[in-house]
Amino acid sequence: MRVGSGTGQGGKSMQDRELATKVRTKALNDIYAVLDGDEDVETWSDLKKQVVLKLAGTVLPRLNELSGKDGGPIEIDDFSNLSNEELERRIQASRGGEDKA
């Protein structure tokens, strides 16, 4: 079911933009919490983890707007095809919890 913007003109209302700003800020803060190793992340529901994962690709700057070391390309790993268990194992390994292999 589609919800209208409330303007009656098909455009985005100011409330939509304000809400989008709040959602983007919240998503960025949540992504920062993950990267910072915040212990509260472990208490998040699976739904919240999936939402943050999906939003990460749209709220972060585009990679072509940035450059890596010495101006070269940024190299990143693609974790999108990993199971939650494998992703958790790698997170723990990166924290020194177990071997990465």
Predicted pLDDT at 97: 67
Domain range summary for the chain, segments of one domain joined by +: 14-61+70-94
pLDDT score recorded for residue 66: 62
Q: Which residue has the higher pLDDT, 88 or 99?
A: 88
CA angle 84, 89, 90 (to 5 degrees): 100
CA angle 35, 87, 53 (to 5 degrees): 55
Above pLDDT 90, what percent of the chain? 21
Average pLDDT over residues 80-88: 85
- Residue 52 has a CB neighbour count (10 Å cut-off) of 20
Q: Is the CA virtual torsion 82, 86, 91, 95 positive or negative?
A: negative
The 10s digit of each residue's pLDDT in 34-80 is 988 999 999 999 999 999 988 888 887 665 556 666 777 767 777 77
